[in-house]
Structures are given as C-alpha cells and as structure tokens.
C-alpha cells in the first residue's frame, strides 16, 4: 500500500473516533474536518479527481451547516432553560 493511502485511512479513523468519543460540539466539527481531509486524500489517491473536486467544494459547506446547527441548538437550549422547560 502506498503511504498516501495509509495516511488517508489514518485520518479517517482518527476523525471517526473523535466524532464518536468527544463531547464538545465544536470538537466534533474539528474531527469532522479531519475525517473530510482523509476522505478527500483517499479519493485523490485512488485517482477519482472528479469526485475529489466535488468533495472539496461540498466539505466546507457541510462544515458551515454543522456550525450553524450547533449555534442554533445552543440558542434553543438557553431559551428552554430561561423559560423553565428542562425536560430536554
């Protein structure tokens, strides 16, 4: 196996385990970015350049959506605490 493929797999595994085991939402976003970097590297290593181009364009957008979702969820949680609804 080439060293690039091994590096790509290592990045994807580290990112996946980080997403699973880390608690803070922003840490999960960072791990998601590491997983995306490994995925794009693996796609390039296997010479699927058209898929790599799409992934490179779509990954920042998905990361931005995750960050916006985290901000919105935190805002909803704060509003529930202020209003007294502590069930969720």
CATH code of the domain in which 49 resides:
1.10.287
* Residue 88 included in any domain: no
**83 band by pLDDT with thresholds 50, 70 and 90:** confident
Is residue 84 pLDDT above 80, yes or no?
no
The boundaries of the domain holding residue 51 are 3-83
CA distance 34 to 50: 21
**Would you say the pTM of this structure is higher than 0.75?**
yes
Tens digits of residue pLDDT in 15-73: 999 999 999 988 999 999 999 999 999 999 999 999 999 998 998 898 899 899 999 99
Q: What is the number of domains present in the chain?
A: 1
Length of the chain: 88
* Residue 43 included in any domain: yes
Which of 18-27's residues contact partners 24+ apart within 8 Å by CB, and which partners? 25/70, 25/73, 25/74, 26/67, 26/70
**77 band by pLDDT with thresholds 50, 70 and 90:** confident
* Residue 16 included in any domain: yes
């Amino acid at each position: 196996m080439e060293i690039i493929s091994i590096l790509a797999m290592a990045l994807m595994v580290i990112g996946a385990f980080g997403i699973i085991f880390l608690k803070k939402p922003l840490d999960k976003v960072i791990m998601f970015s590491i997983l995306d970097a490994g995925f794009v590297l693996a796609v390039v290593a296997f010479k699927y350049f058209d898929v790599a181009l799409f992934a490179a364009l779509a990954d920042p957008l998905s990361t931005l959506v995750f960050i916006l979702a985290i901000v919105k969820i935190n805002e909803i949680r704060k509003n529930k605490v202020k209003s007294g609804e502590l069930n969720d």
